[in-house]
């Protein structure tokens, strides 16, 4: 999904009519990617992040809280560097902040976690409704409209900036990253991300994400998730096109279809993939997929480095010139590359390079803290 944000002006991700050709193959690529992938896989990744908090805390014992603070602190540093130096669409900062917020709840029971997760996700949708109603009562400002459906002049400035050098890119990247990490995060993002992390904690404690449940459980999750989520997402597409992607509807109310549908479909995808694993149907690909997963941090940043080199001015400068059909070809090539190199790397090393660095910084900080405490007690 991120390829659109690397290759095209920011507005094109949320409003597909804002930039580029949207007919023929390009239209169908957008529809398929939006219906089946947009917000679904990042929801799964958020669930896994929450599950990982429970897993790592159980292994860390008495050092769990300190270890987690160090891990999230360094992830904040990585996220800030990623957002402001490379690409505004960073998710690491949000995960680190939300990871700190949900950590105290890691030992609560599945029922409590599920109820609180649902409540937080509801709050995020209510905030969206509130902003939509306020926009309906007060005409949108020119700046708000321009961010949703930019003028030709605005688009040209953004394209020129990202085709330019590092300093020119900063003029657009810094305010965009700052808005994501402040206004959007506080009003919308923190509620959903925290809610989905808690959902992941609950599913881990229910032995869903550990794949220890019976195959029929995963089949039920797959069927229920897709049956409830897919119609919502499809109806959302229909409604947004019926409203001509107008900011008064599509910017807020039009997002709610996928907001809720994506949660259900993420559970559906999870059930389907775990069912296929239990049945042994992914045995050939499981090793390569697991290797990519073990190097998720490295592969995430590597995607940014590859894509910014392709699209930004310090590289090939293709920003704004590759349609969605061409973008999909690049996605396939990058995924194939990472599926190939990740297993090779892990044959020689225990961790990906960024995973190793993050681990060293985390545990090094704890050792230094322990030594200071020992010195203080000695004195």
Residues 6+ apart with CB under 8 A from 252: 128, 129, 131, 132, 135
Q: What is the pLDDT of residue 282?
A: 87
CA nearest neighbour of 162 among 3, 365, 7, 25: 7
Q: To 10 degrees, the CA torsion angle through 138, 143, 149, 150?
A: 160
The overall average pLDDT reported for the chain is 92
pLDDT digits (tens, 9 = 90+) for 129-168: 998 888 777 666 666 677 899 999 999 999 999 999 999 9
Q: Give me the helix-helix angle, 25-36 and 324-348, nearest 10°.
A: 50
Q: What is the pLDDT of residue 248?
A: 86
Residues 6+ apart with CB under 8 A from 321: none
**Block residue for tokens 């923190």:** 190
Instruction: Give the integer Cα–Cα distance in Å for 96 and 81.
Output: 13
Task: Kindly list the distances between the CA atom of residue 238 and the CA atoms of 20, 72, 232, 241, in Å, as whole numbers in the listed order.
Answer: 20, 40, 10, 5
Q: What is the pLDDT of residue 145?
A: 72
Q: What is the pLDDT of residue 62?
A: 85
- Any long-range contacts for 324-331 (C-beta under 8 Å, 24+ apart)? 324/4, 324/20, 324/21, 324/25, 324/26, 324/29, 324/30, 325/25, 325/26, 325/29, 327/3, 327/4, 327/7, 327/29, 328/3, 328/29, 330/3, 330/7, 331/3
Q: What is the pLDDT of residue 127?
A: 93
First to last CA, the chain: 55
pLDDT digits (tens, 9 = 90+) for 291-345: 999 999 999 999 999 999 999 999 999 999 999 999 999 999 999 999 999 999 9
Q: What is the pLDDT of residue 375?
A: 41
- What stretches of the chain show up as alpha helix (H) in DSSP? 3-7, 11-14, 25-36, 40-60, 64-81, 92-102, 110-137, 142-148, 152-163, 166-179, 190-205, 215-242, 247-250, 256-278, 283-294, 296-311, 324-348, 353-378
> What backbone phi and psi angles, to 5 degrees, belong to 40?
-75, -50
Spans of the chain, pLDDT less than 70: 138-144, 365-379
Instruction: Give the integer Cα–Cα distance in Å for 136 and 287.
Output: 51
Written as six digits, the tokens of 11 are 């507005």
């Amino acid at each position: 999904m991120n390829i659109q944000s690397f290759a095209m002006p920011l507005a094109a991700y949320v409003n597909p009519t804002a930039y580029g050709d949207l007919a023929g193959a390009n239209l169908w690529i957008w529809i398929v990617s939006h219906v089946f992938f947009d917000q679904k896989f990042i929801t799964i990744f958020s669930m896994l992040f929450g599950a990982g908090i429970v897993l790592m805390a159980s292994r860390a014992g008495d050092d769990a809280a300190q270890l987690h603070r160090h891990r999230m602190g360094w992830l904040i540093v990585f996220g800030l560097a990623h957002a402001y130096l490379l690409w505004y669409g960073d998710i690491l900062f949000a995960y680190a902040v939300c990871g700190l917020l949900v950590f105290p709840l890691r030992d609560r029971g599945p029922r409590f976690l599920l109820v609180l997760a649902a409540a937080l996700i509801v709050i995020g949708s209510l905030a969206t409704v509130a902003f939509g109603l306020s926009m309906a009562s007060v005409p949108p400002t020119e700046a708000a409209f321009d961010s949703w459906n930019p003028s030709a002049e605005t688009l040209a400035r953004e394209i020129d900036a990202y085709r330019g050098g590092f300093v020119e890119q900063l003029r657009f990247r810094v305010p965009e990253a700052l808005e994501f990490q402040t206004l959007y995060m506080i009003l919308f993002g923190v509620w959903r991300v925290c809610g989905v992390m808690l959902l992941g904690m609950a599913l881990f404690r229910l032995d869903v994400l550990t794949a220890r449940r019976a195959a029929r459980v995963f089949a039920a999750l797959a069927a229920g998730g897709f049956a409830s989520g897919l119609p919502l997402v499809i109806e959302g597409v229909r409604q947004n096109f019926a409203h001509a992607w107008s900011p008064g509807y599509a910017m807020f109310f039009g997002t709610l279809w996928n907001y809720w549908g994506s949660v259900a479909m993420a559970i559906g995808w999870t059930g389907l993939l775990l069912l296929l694993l239990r049945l042994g149907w992914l045995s050939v690909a499981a090793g390569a997929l697991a290797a990519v997963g073990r190097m998720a941090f490295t592969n995430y940043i590597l995607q940014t480095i590859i894509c910014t080199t392709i699209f930004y001015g310090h590289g090939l400068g293709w920003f704004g010139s590759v349609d969605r059909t061409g973008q999909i070809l690049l996605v396939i090539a990058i995924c194939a590359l990472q599926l190939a190199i990740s297993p090779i790397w892990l044959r020689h090393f225990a961790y990906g390079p960024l995973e190793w660095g993050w681990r060293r910084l985390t545990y090094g900080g704890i050792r230094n803290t322990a030594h200071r405490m020992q010195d203080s007690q000695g004195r």
